[in-house]
Amino acid sequence: MMSDGGGGLSLPELVQQVALLNWLNSEDDASKQLLKTVTGVRVAHSLFQRLTGQDAIDLYKRQCILGIVAFVKENPRASQSQLNKELEKQVLLFAARVQALQ
């Protein structure tokens, strides 16, 4: 799961920790069931992401976008043709990486 970028917990991690804290403070059945449900959903989501390769696809997507951003920052006066060429290069690289997953 992605963090918030500030070193804190991601939203799913935060929800799980709130459920855990709630259960630790009360130890009642409803709190335990909530913690079980939240943890089960997180585990199922993680398994789904791994089985489908979605984590890798999301990573490749971020790399594609960051590659385009880096080019634009390094080449602020690039022509439309140069921008189009770099965009095409980055998208083709993304597509090749996703294709390699299959």
Amino acid at 60: Y
Number of H helices, E strands in the chain: 4, 0
What confidence tens digit (pLDDT) does each residue in 36-83 have? 898 898 888 888 888 888 889 999 999 999 999 999 999 999 999 899
So what's the pLDDT on residue 5? 53
Section 76-92 average pLDDT? 92
Q: Is the pTM of this model over 0.75?
A: no
Whether the Cβ atoms of residue 9 and residue 17 lie closer than 8 Å to each other: yes
Whether the Cβ atoms of residue 61 and residue 94 lie closer than 8 Å to each other: yes
Alpha-carbon gap, residue 84 to 62, rounded angstroms: 18
